[in-house]
Amino acid sequence: MSIEDPGEPGTRPATPAWPPSSAADRNHPASIPTPVRHDTSDAYEAVDEEFEQFDWDSWQPGELSDDGPAADEVDWDAPAAAPEPPETTSWRAKVIGEGDWVRGVTIGEREPVVETGMVSTQKSAPERLSEEDELEPVPSTLSEPLLASGGAWPPVSPVSHDIVHVQVAPWAPFTTGLALALAMVLVSAAIVSQAGRLGLTLAVLTGQVPTSADAVVDAYLVAISRGDATKALSYLSPKPDNPILLTNAVLNQSNEQSPLTILSVKAGSSDINGTQRVTATYAIGNVEVSTGFTTAFAEGQWVIRDDPGRIGVGSLRASGIPLFINGQSVPDTVDSLPAFPGTYELSTQSPLIDYASPSTLVVRSSDEAPIIGAVTLELTSAGQKAALDAVNAAVSACLAKKELQPSGCPQNIESDPNEPVLPDTIAYSAKSESTTISDEDLRLSTVTVTYVAEWHLDVKVNVNGTPRDVPFTFDFTALWQVTMSGARPTAVLIS
């Protein structure tokens, strides 16, 4: 088998394993002979060679021979021999006897392939250029003329073919600007929505809200001193429940009675839970208060975590009597109300029962309850008269009874069964009467009146069918309880 040059294709031998075909097989489409490509070249002629089939079953590996000197025959101290120079003979010269490579075929020199059926033929290549032939140089600058026409190079096109040019619609800039504006709006909205979590609200950055723990406490007290309940509430988190007393009207009346004056505000230490204590000193009228506030940074601003203060109104109320605090009516179902630091005037607006002087409470801070015991209810002069009038009315009703033991009255006379009493002849009269208010329980809106008197009874009894006058005199003391909460006080005999 001949060894072919890798770059020069040679003649491909036909496959010897295919058997000869019959006439019928040759007409079958699947029996067309395998096409063989025949290349012709004047560089060398392909030599037909016979291929001998190798017997792989009888092949045996050869024996290794050791024709070199033994280890003891080698002079290890002798200098190493100089390496032999590389052979200058090329592989091609050794194989096919040619020392120079044939110039490769250039584009345009190879003839096109002509296909006939399944066999491809190619015309022989033109004669190759010899080494003595010289190629004329190709112009490399625009200043040299073209070889074909001798004319100058064509002018350069103003459009660069290396850049892709796209025609933009006239409405594209408007659409692009609108898309950018929409993107900016969405990004701004995302930033604002996350500002509270990051603690970077616009109000904080612009100074519209307090920027520190002591600043929020100072702003809170300033709002209270100015009667701005809405502003003061904005610094509290969470917001107090049932803000009946947390109004501008209630706060303004508090400042009219005892103004709040800020003396000092000082930030304290921070806790591990994220809160920070602030100590503040202020005066409510002539009462000086020093207290602490718990602050925290939440929802993008500093807030106060404490309740503003609280008034327990359950122990202040007179049953059935209205209650007003700084002019604000308090419902009967409420027992406790939050209130800002300040002074609060209590009133019933009733002519019978009201609060004794002093009738004010001072809410100092969230951690100090007001002193409620100093505020007491009292029966007004009109209330005292109304209570005595109610007892006198009850006594008069009992004196008019035509009974010896009328219900709800102090008289309790027993007659002789053998001398029945003629009811129509019963007549009571009172002498030496006196009434005093002996006890008060104004939380229940009641008073107790002691009645002392001498009563005289004139009556006729039937003695053997004949009426006979029987005079009867008795002294007694009666206790009457008067309820003051109704539209008109009423007296009830209790003993």
Give residue 401's domain range.
381-493
Alpha carbon of 329 to those of 222, 242, 307, 379, 485: distances in Å? 26, 13, 21, 21, 17
Q: Is the dihedral of CA 165, 169, 170, 176 positive or negative?
A: negative
State residue 363's pLDDT score: 95
What are the φ/ψ torsions at residue 455 (nearest 5 degrees)? -110, 150
Say if 202 falls within a structural domain.
Answer: yes
Nearest alpha carbon to residue 394 among 380, 414, 410, 381: 410
Angle at 341 between CA 335 and CA 346, to 5 degrees: 50
Residues 303 and 375 placed together within one structural domain of the fold? yes
Say if 300 falls within a structural domain.
Answer: yes
Residues 278 and 361 placed together within one structural domain of the fold? yes
Domain boundary among the residues 379, 407, 437 is at 379
Distance in angstroms (rounded) separating the CA atoms of residues 103 and 115? 27
Contact predicate 485/445, CB 8 Å: yes
Q: What is the pLDDT of residues 126-135, one digit of tens each?
A: 455 455 555 5
Residues 233 and 268 placed together within one structural domain of the fold? yes
Q: What is the pLDDT of residues 450-490, one digit of tens each?
A: 999 999 999 999 888 889 998 989 998 999 999 998 888 99
Domain boundary among the residues 379, 397, 423 is at 379
Residues 372 and 418 placed together within one structural domain of the fold? no
Angle at 76 between CA 73 and CA 78, to 5 degrees: 110
Residues 371 and 423 placed together within one structural domain of the fold? no
Positions in the chain short of pLDDT 50: 1-18, 21, 24, 30, 41, 43-47, 101-111, 113-126, 129, 196-207
Place of tokens 């500093």: 302
Residues 374 and 413 placed together within one structural domain of the fold? no
Tally of domains within the chain: 2
Residues 342 and 391 placed together within one structural domain of the fold? no
Say if 99 falls within a structural domain.
Answer: no
CATH of the domain at 251: 3.10.450.100
Say if 2 falls within a structural domain.
Answer: no
Residues 427 and 369 placed together within one structural domain of the fold? no
State residue 97's pLDDT score: 55
Tokens of 488: 């008109």
Residues 255 and 303 placed together within one structural domain of the fold? yes
Q: What is the pLDDT of residues 265-302, one digit of tens each?
A: 999 888 888 899 999 999 999 999 999 999 999 878 99
Say if 364 falls within a structural domain.
Answer: yes
Residues 367 and 224 placed together within one structural domain of the fold? yes
Domain boundary among the residues 379, 403, 429 is at 379
Say if 375 falls within a structural domain.
Answer: yes
Residues 290 and 312 placed together within one structural domain of the fold? yes
Tokens of 97: 């006897």
Say if 31 falls within a structural domain.
Answer: no
Residues 293 and 238 placed together within one structural domain of the fold? yes
